[in-house]
Amino acid sequence: MDKAHNIQSIAFSGKIMMITVDGKEYSIDLSRQSERLARATQAQRQHVEISPSAYGLHWPDVDEDLSIDGLIGIKHAAPLENALA
Q: Is residue 85 domain-resident?
A: no
CA–CA distance, 69 with 56 (Å, rounded to integer): 8
- Count of domains observed in the chain: 1
Helices (H), the chain: 35-39, 42-46, 68-72
The CATH code of the domain that includes 24 is 3.30.2020.40
Residue-level pLDDT at 26: 95
Average pLDDT over residues 23-46: 93
Q: Is residue 79 domain-resident?
A: no
Residue type, 40: A
Share of the chain above pLDDT 90, in %: 62
Q: Is residue 1 domain-resident?
A: no
Please name which of 3, 12, 73 lies closest in space to residue 38, comparing C-alpha atoms.
12
Average pLDDT over residues 33-54: 93
Residue type, 33: Q
- What's the pLDDT tens digit per position in 44-72? 999 999 998 888 999 999 999 999 998 88
pTM strictly above 0.85: no
* Residue span of the structural domain in which 55 resides: 7-72
